[in-house]
Amino acid sequence: MEHLYWDLGSCVGVTSIEVELRGVQARVCLMDEEEYQAYLDGDEYEYHGGYWDSSPTILDVPYDARWYLVVDGYDGRITARVSKLVD
């Protein structure tokens, strides 16, 4: 399964993640550790985010946990820049 991913480490609920897409539209998924493992295993999973065709995109971390950000480019030629923003 090809995808870009970032291990964001432990984030608190006041953290925002900014994602700048370069290339094409993509599905941007913010997942906690359990959901990311389910994603890797091909099981059902839940995520925060969605399909984005504009940039930058800002996702808010909903609760304190270890977080992963996944970017699925539909044609496999996408790049992205990710930044943590803390209020």
Question: Checking DSSP bridges between strand 4-11 and strand 48-52, what pairing results, if any?
Answer: unpaired
Secondary structure class of 61 (helix, strand, coil): coil
Q: What is the pLDDT of residue 32?
A: 97
pTM of the predicted model as reported, rounded to 2 decimal places? 0.86
Domain coordinates of the chain in residue numbers?
4-86
Q: Please state, in angstroms and rounded to a whole number, the distance separating the CA atoms of residues 54 and 86.
A: 22
User: pLDDT truncated to tens, each residue of the chain (87 aa)?
Assistant: 578 899 999 999 889 999 998 777 889 999 999 999 999 999 999 999 999 888 888 999 999 999 999 988 766 667 777 887 765
Q: How many CB atoms lie within 10 A of CB 83?
A: 11
